[in-house]
Structure 1
Amino acid sequence: MQLLSYIISHTQLPETSVKNTVALLNEACTIPFISRYRKERTGNLDEVQIGDIVKYKDQFEALEKRKATILKALADQDVLTTELQQKIEATRDLTTLEDLYLPFKKSRKTKAETARKNGLEPLAKIIMSQNASDLEAISHKYIKGEILSVEDALEGARHIISEWVNERSDVRNTIRKQLDRFALISTKVVKSKKEDENAQKFRDYFEWEESLSRIPSHRLLAILRAEKEGFIKLKIAIDDDKALADIENRIIKSNNVCSEQIELAIQDAYKRLLFPSLSNESLQKVKEKADAEAISVFAKNLKQLLLGSPLGEKRILAIDPGFRSGCKIVCLDAQGNLKHNETIYPHAPKNDTIGAMKKISSLAEAYKIEAIAIGNGTASRETEAVIRKIHFKNDLQVFVVSEAGASIYSASKIARDEFPNYDVTVRGSVSIGRRLQDPLAELVKIDAKSIGVGQYQHDVDQSKLKNELDTVVESCVNAVGVNINTASMSLLSYVSGIGPKLAENIVNYRSEKGVFKSRNAIKKVPRLGDKAFEQGAAFLRIKESKNPLDDSAVHPESYALVEQMAKDLSKPISDLIGNATALQKIDLKKYCTNSVGLPTLQDIIKELEKPGLDIREQAKVFTFNQNIKSINDLETGQLLPGIVNNVTNFGAFVDIGIKESGLIHVSNLSDSFVSDVNAHVSLHQQVIVKVLDVDVPRKRIQLKLHK
């Protein structure tokens, strides 16, 4: 089996596109670089399509690696036949491969192995021939050693037959098909845990049953978590009688004493070996599907969060609100540098509201503050109310900013390295302020799964989750571009071709030598070779460079093309920047070469029209309903402003300005059928919602999206 045919069979992409993309990947090219700057070679594949090629390339390589391991093990056991080798080499999935290997696995001591050591395999073969008439007389010959009776002999022979039945691929596939089509998953509460306070969030699953193949991913993950925490027991079931009948029809061809023994062996094989193994396999397969859906939801949310609206380079006063411990205030300059910090106590128990207002007013004037960022945690609404009472000399915008993950950042090594002389409260406030300036630049410092925009993210395959989220972060960072002279080590590490070590080298070089004045100067960074420069240079921006292309997404390898265009128009490059009239006069076909085609040339023109354009929208001020202070203030039918703070495949959660978020169930997103929640709402979208139901004891709020 060849790699290209494997990928093509799963993706249905053109062979040339797959072949060239695989070649680029083997040259250590990154997905952002390939999708943006090698369109001619890939046939204009996008990041998703290239990501699929990467996924199936990895799957194929894992399959081939497992094949090699199995073939070596079989050769070492001296059981590898030409026929078996051909079957293994032709296998296209791990399940079939493991079935082929199953009879030869060196397993721990089993009942069948014990029976073989007692010399009962010949008896098992006689029974399986199904033509012996006096089985009791035959069995007498095997009474010796640990075998004390005919029944002992027959029981041992049945154990061997059970193992043979279990190892048959056709039998295993028969049970698999029944599990795939008819399996039910059911749950029952553990009686001793029924009244446990922590068990109440799983109350819906105290007694539950539905089709395993149709269970939604969020429900399966919730059930598995409840089982893991010991609140419920789950069971997978199919029609056992039908399953046994199907197996018997495949194996039993007679109606005599041998068939009776085989029937007993089949029942034993099914109960002890087949069903436990294959039901777990089926559950794991459904779990993998649920993981994939949950990871996809998380990835979509993370992308929307990372590409959230930045306010830009503004001077910020950021507040991490609190009651007893006070509100931590920091003042940041336009580049996010900490200029001042202190604590105010506008709320109970000190209630120094007047002093707090005077302090904020004086700080806003002293540091020429342009906007205020308030964390959305404890005391957020109360702090916002205080801020809005202040009469500032200048018109300041007030934003409520998500604190999700800020505490993770403030206690991290990255935060300690940035602010070694400040405690976690100051670092957390700085993070809140910087998130308003540039969400992407700040959020990349936090482990993505700690940001809190996922669905059961701690229950899914952690390796797959990390890979997917890292891919999303890399995609977002490179889509926006990075100012190499101000970017943190964390942000730089996600730039195509850079990574953590080169990011550290860039920051150290910048500290020692000063800012980079051109893209070519990047090559002076220790250990940043030609390959890393090729992969990353176009995603790194140099502000105020002599060459205006250094602050654009035009790749340095295309500079000569742009220079030729400018020369042909008798203009300097600087006069082309933003000059749509001049750019539209260029005949792109004139500049096509063997390596550069229209897709790349069109990208260049688009970039020259608006060089370095931020793909993100600018941050907008949002105000909650000031009369809603807690869940007790909610009434059915109210229309309220809110911000979507999490999207799942069963609906969207909305922050309406109180501690509890409300849920817009997928059925309440539209009056028509909704197949994709993301088609109706997105993370951080400002919406108007209608209150449908309020369950105060369970702290649940049901909402409807108001059009």
Structure 2
Amino acid sequence: MTTAQDRIHRKIATEIGAAPGQVSATVDLLDGGATVPFVARYRKEATGGLDDTQLRTLAERLGYLREMEARRETILASIRDQGKLTDALALSIAKAETKATLEDIYLPYKPKRRTKAMIARENGLEPLLRAILSDRRADPEVLAGAYLSETVVDTKAALNGARDILVEELAENAGLLGRLRGFMRAEARITSKVVPGKEQEGAKYSDYFDHDEAWNKIAAHRALAILRAAKEEIVTVEIAPEPETGVDRAIGMIALEIGIPGDAPGDQWLRKAATWAWKVKLSLAMYVDLMSELRASAFEEAIAVFARNLRALLLAAPAGARPTLGLDPGLRTGVKAAVVDATGKVLETATLYPHQPRMDVRGTEAKIIEMVKRHGVELIAIGNGTASRETERVVADTLRLLPDGAPRPVKVVVSEAGASVYSASELAAREFPDLDVSLRGAVSIARRLQDPLAELVKIEPKSIGVGQYQHDVDQRKLGQALEAVVEDAVNAVGVDLNTASAPLLARVSGLGTRLAEAIVEQRDALGAFASRKALLKVPGLGPKAFEQSAGFLRIRDGEEPLDASSVHPEAYGVARRIVKACGRDLRAIMGDGTALQRLRAEDFVDDRFGLPTVCDILVELEKPGRDPRPGFKTASFADGVEEMKDLKPGMLLEGTVTNVAAFGAFVDIGVHQDGLVHVSQLADRFVKDPHEVVKAGDVVKVRVLEVDLPRKRIALSMRKQTSDAPQPDSASKKAAPKPRRGKPEGSGKRSQGNETGALGAALQAAMKKKT
């Protein structure tokens, strides 16, 4: 007999392209307290090599399907208690594959408030409906005469009551609802119209003042823009089939369900009742269902975009452990400066005033040179907010004052998104109790250049500013998705046990905030950990937490050489057998790929550790503790291009991708306003998903297409071809989905424009014709 658990495992297996046995083994591990990073890295034999993406999907779907099974049992119990559960009904409930289908089946049996149909039944009008349905040739008016009473005063009231009963039955017909929903998904159109008098207030939503497109074709970012405009009461939204033909087809489906074969008096009455059912009940139900589906799918896409951007940002190339000067630019309040050493320890802070109103350029230059020489500064990190380019210019002039042959720090413009949030946080206050809030931002900017991952984990992911409508989506689901991204990123890179902060350690598999703080407390009290196994002496850190976390923690130059690698302590025996086969010392083998080339992984497989684990150990011995992040590279902004007014069409510039959305990529080119590379301008080929081409943090070369100063829009291109997009004609304007305009979700102090108006519409239309 198939159990609910078997059903869940088979369904997930189909969805992620795995065998049911792989799913069952993974579920057992997750239920036993294992984390996704641990299972993905150290339990490949059990899972059959499922990757972290498959495992995340599995975990998410497992929760959904378990909730659904619980709901299925609740519904069965409710109908059984009512004495209405038949074998056919139980089979229908068992076969339901979505929560929506389950709820459709349950509708007739679901306890509800007193309805018009209930009152009509109490008034004895259900037999009237059955009489009309069974004898179509009879005149309903004549039939209704036999059902008058003190509460049913005339034939009109009687027929209205019969109609109310019919409408409720249709609205609770699971089969009809499913067919209507399928029809609407295929045929419905979503339209939005401006609320009269709101044109000026909602100018940023002007693209949606008179918008119409197929419901099943609307892109997530346009759906989210419309939903926000509706929430702000700028537009009204309708989801309905084509008025002329679509509505008739929907009513025809209802009529077919009733069975209206001819034009007898009963058929005519029923046809009117079917029309009434659509207008007053079923069209509204379909609107609610499709709006819910649209919102859910748009939210899902927005969360996925945010997650991809966040992952790219977290795994951006670190500049490395080098003394760094962090500058948080400002005008009136000055430029906040902080020097940190190679480990991120704060050495010196200052406030500089090179800009208006003080214009103390000489004093600023002298102070920067003094800090550079005193602390051996190798990197200068400049926040990309207000006065960023002006500050960068002062730094460039200052570095030219250094003596010939003297070491010159490399200046890098760094995203300061979230730095202000961190500066004012409780965590920052504990870390720097004696440091002014404004100076903490400069420290964060310096540290995020050294190691973006280690610093960004201190900031709530939603505040990092690489999302698309992140404040509109389901915040619980967004939080879960982003926490998973942070966890996967931290564990993919690994963490130095003796230098990592508590927030970074808290993201390690199996630890969490309490154990992370306990580790730091013991490290501060007793000094650096000499080995991984010393973790077991940390109060509260038991065998399970050790199993989950040990492989992701690194100890450089410790008692055990393998502690510097990602080889799990449980597999040290296998690693030593491999080393013994080479006939050399472990420390000599680690990092020497040539010594391992003659070995066959199959020779080291045993009852506990299979081929996947042995292969991983061989790779790790060859490159112990390798960092999966790319090499450090930074964009060079063009001299003399500091504001939007300096941009001219045709300019070739270098910039950094700050955000990737469904419709394109935003690029920081150093003018305080990110430009947009529309999806159609990302490459000399068709690009469906911008993430195929770029990710947040990439350094790219772009060409300026268009500059719109009044609306602060910059259109860019990454195409190598010189021909630009075609100019929109009247047909393409009509056919193209209108891109969103107005102020989007920005990041930090920088504002990002959105799709590029008529140009964006023309490009989208051209791409539609092409595909």
Give the structure 1 partner of residue 561 of structure 2: 548
One-letter code aligned to 1:185: I
1:613 deviates by 1.5
Amino acid at match of 2:204: K
**Structure 2 partner of 1:245:** 252
- Name the SS of the counterpart of 1:664 in structure 2: strand
| Pair 1:442-2:445 in alignment | no
Amino acid at match of 1:192: G
In 2, Cα distance between equivalents of 1:87 and 1:242 = 27
Q: Distance in 1 between matches of 2:695 and 2:659?
A: 8
> Quick check: 245-254 or 273-282, which moved more?
245-254
Q: Which moved more, 1:687-696 or 1:289-298?
A: 289-298
The aligned runs of 1:117-156 (5 Å cut-off) are 117-131=122-136, 133=138, 135-156=140-161
Give ranges in structure 1 of 5+ residues lacking alignment.
none
Given the alignment of the two structures, is residue 103 of structure 1 paired with residue 108 of structure 2, yes or no?
Answer: yes
Is the 8 Å Cα contact of residues 633 and 699 (structure 2) preserved in structure 1? Answer: no
Find the partner of 1:428 among 441, 446, 461. Answer: 441
What corresponds to 2:749 in structure 1? Answer: none
| Amino acid in the other structure paired with 1:241 | D
* In structure 2, C-alpha distance between the alignment counterparts of 1:250 and 1:342, rounded to whole Å: 78
The C-alpha deviation readout for 1:645-694, integer Å capped at 9, x for no partner, is: 11112111111101211111111112221122122222121111111111
Cα deviation for residue 569 of structure 1 reads: 3.1
Deviates more, 1:199-208 or 1:136-145: 136-145
Deviations 1:202-240 (A, max 9, x none): 111111111010011111111111111111111112121
Where 2:151 maps in the other structure, the secondary structure is coil
Amino acid in structure 2 at the alignment position of 1:231: I
- Cα shift at 1:138: 4.0
Q: Which amino acid aligns with 1:242?
A: R
CA distance in 2, matches of 1:136, 1:674: 63
For 1:329, the equivalent position in structure 2 comes to 337
What residue in structure 2 maps to residue 310 of structure 1? 318
Shifted more, 641-650 versus 346-355: the winner is 641-650
What secondary structure, in the 3-state scheme, does the structure 2 residue paired with 1:487 have?
Answer: coil
Contact 2:45 2:612 survives alignment (8 Å)? yes
Q: Distance in 2 between matches of 1:136 and 1:697?
A: 67
Letter in 1 for 2:391: T
Give the TM-score normalised by structure 1. 0.96
The answer as to 2:225 corresponding to 1:222 is yes
CA distance in 2, matches of 1:705, 1:195: 35
Structure 1 residues 444-593: aligned runs within 5 Å? 444-593=457-606
User: Is the 1:641–1:687 Cα contact (8 Å) retained in structure 2?
Assistant: yes
**Whole-Å Cα distance in 2 between the matches of residues 296 and 130 of structure 1?**
56
For residue 655 of structure 1, what is the aligned residue in structure 2? Answer: 668
Work out whether residues 3 and 57 of structure 1, in 8 Å CA contact, stay in contact via their aligned partners in 2.
yes
- Cα drift, residue 40 of structure 1: 1.6
Give me the whole-angstrom Cα distance separating, in 2, the residues matched to 1:362 and 1:415.
Answer: 27
Moved over 6 A (4+): none
2:225 alignment partner AA: A
Q: Are the counterparts in 2 of residues 67 and 97 from structure 1 also a CA contact under 8 Å? A: yes
Q: Secondary structure at the match of 2:558?
A: coil
Quick check: 1:685 aligned with 2:698? yes
AA partner of residue 34 (structure 2)? C
How far off its partner does 1:137 sit? 4.6
Measured on the aligned residues, the alpha-carbon RMSD in Å equals: 1.7
SS of 1:342's equivalent in the other structure is strand
- Cα distance in 1 for partners of 2:678, 2:667 equals 11
**TM-aligned CA deviation for residue 306 of structure 1:** 0.3
- Of stretches 531-540 and 406-415 in structure 1, the one that deviates more from structure 2 is 406-415
Matched, 1:22 2:27: yes
Report the AA paired with residue 357 of structure 1: E
Letter of the structure 1 residue corresponding to residue 251 of structure 2: L
Contact 2:679 2:690 (8 Å CA) reproduced:
yes
Alignment of 1:191-210 (within 5 A): 191-196=196-201, 199-210=202-213
Give the paired residue count.
705
Please show how residues 56-67 of structure 1 align to structure 2 within 5 Å.
56-67=61-72
Instruction: Please report how far the alpha carbon of residue 80 of structure 1 lies from its aligned counterpart in structure 2 after TM superposition.
Output: 2.7
Q: Out of 365, 375, 382, which is 1:357 matched to?
A: 365
Distance 1:326 1:512 in 2: 39
Deviates more, 1:318-327 or 1:676-685: 676-685
Aligned 8 A contact 2:310 2:485 in 1: yes
Offset at residue 628 of structure 1 (A):
1.1
Kept in 2, the 8 Å contact 1:158–1:264? The answer is: no
Cα distance in 2, alignment partners of residues 175 and 382 from structure 1: 60
Please state how far the C-alpha of 1:308 moved relative to its aligned partner: 0.8
Q: Is the 8 Å Cα contact of residues 118 and 145 (structure 1) preserved in structure 2?
A: no
State the secondary structure of the residue aligned to 1:308.
coil
2: distance between equivalents of 1:170 and 1:641? 57
Matches within 5 A, 1:32-181: 32-131=37-136, 133=138, 135-181=140-186
Shift of the 228–134 alpha-carbon distance from structure 1 to 2, 3 Å rule, reads: closer
Q: Distance in 2 between matches of 1:221 and 1:190?
A: 18
CA offset digits 1:24-82 (Å, max 9, x no partner) = 22222111111111112222221112222222222210110111222232234333333
Q: Deviations 1:374-405 (Å, cap 9, x if unpaired)?
A: 10100011111111112234321111110011
Check conservation: 1:668, 1:704, Cα contact below 8 A.
Answer: yes
1:267-306 counterparts in 2 under 5 A? Answer: 267-306=275-314
- Does residue 369 in structure 1 map to residue 360 in structure 2? no
Q: Deviations over 1:463-493 (max 9, x none)?
A: 2222221111111100100012221222112
Residue of structure 2 in register with 1:604 after alignment: 617
SS of 2:147's equivalent in the other structure is coil
Task: Give, in whole Å, the separation in 1 of the partners of 2:660 and 2:452.
Answer: 18
Q: Partner amino acid for 2:158?
A: A
Specify the alignment match of 2:743 in structure 1. Answer: none
Q: Which amino acid is the alignment partner of residue 440 of structure 2?
A: R
